[in-house]
Amino acid sequence: MWIAHEAGRELMGPLPAGVEVAVLPAVDAPPPGDPAAVEFWVPPNVSSPGLVALAGPMTGLKVVQLLSAGADAWIGRLREGVTLCDARGVHDPNVAEWVVGAIIASVRRFDHFARAQAAHRYAAAEVTPTDELTGKRVLIVGAGSIGAATAARLAPFDVRVTSVAHTARDGVHGVADLPRLLPDADVVVLLVPLTAQTEGLVGAAFLAAMPDGALLVNAARGRVADTAALTAELASGRLRAALDVTDPEPLPPDSPLWDMPNVLLTPHIAGAVQGTVPRAYRLVGAQVRRYLAGEPLDNQVRGGY
């Protein structure tokens, strides 16, 4: 098997005898052995087309275990018979933490005060009193494990959380309910995977349905939102946004989003915390042991989920 981090050797825990582990840390790194001999691959957590193409010479490949929760770059690009697994559960605490932090930073205007600090300007009178998270109506679009973790972390703030998934189930609305749910949401959090159904989900009609002053938080994928529609709506000043992802990414230097006072931007770092690698390789170790025991693998990606 090939893994992406040297530290993963120890973090995976004990593996059965006979497992040969090599490290391929980056797409441009020299292969650590014969690609055709690789059965189980844990690629680096950067899903570029060049990285996915490395699977081509791995003619004996049986499993690709991602370190990311999103699998959109890989779906439909692996040969038949290769099982694709994501890292569902690994990123729950870190992404949920970013979402809560981004909401608080936005409603309490930490971004405004950070800009004022950089300009050596005491800005107490400029935006105070600020809004607050307490009592907000939060709509979470994406009711997977990260969505559940986000809802749990929002609970102490006395918010009302409503969840939406691609199909309705007990306690969770379906996407078809969005038109009637959006007008009642103070904060809309995007946590859906990127699929054919979710690409461009947040378009002009979606944004227009959000009430004046509402906050859009995108910790999913940039292409879930239509960039032109989002930019136009934010330029009007009617809505606020906290964006960890954009389309394109990186965001071009000339994008007007950079300079909008109602936009908080971070560079796709919601999942980038120190605890990610240990959590990820605990999952990898468990998956390898399941694979060698002939047991079903967890987190198998089917239909983009």
How many CB atoms within 10 Å of residue 165?
18
Sheet of strand 63-65, all strands in order from the earlier edge strand to the far edge: 22-23, 2-3, 40-41, 63-65, 83-85
Task: State the burial class of residue 82 (Cβ atoms within 10 Å of its Cβ: 0-12, 13-18, 19+).
Answer: middle
Catalytic residue chosen out of the listed positions 221, 223, 240, 279: 221
What residues are paired with 172 via a beta bridge?
169
How many CA atoms does the CB half-sphere of 32 hold within 13 Å? 17
Active site residue 268: yes
Active site residue 137: no
CA-to-CA distance for 131 and 116, rounded, in angstroms? 18
Catalytic residue chosen out of the listed positions 9, 268, 282, 289: 268
How many CA atoms does the CB half-sphere of 285 hold within 13 Å? 17
**Which amino acid appears at position 11 of this protein?**
L
Core vs surface per residue 102-129: b (16+ CB within 10 A) or e: bbebbbbbebbbeebeeeeeeeeeeeee
Catalytic residue chosen out of the listed positions 126, 132, 249, 295: 249
Task: State the burial class of residue 277 (Cβ atoms within 10 Å of its Cβ: 0-12, 13-18, 19+).
Answer: middle
Please provide the distance, in angstroms rounded to a whole number, between the alpha carbons at the two ends of the chain: 24
Which residues are identified as catalytic? 221, 249, 268
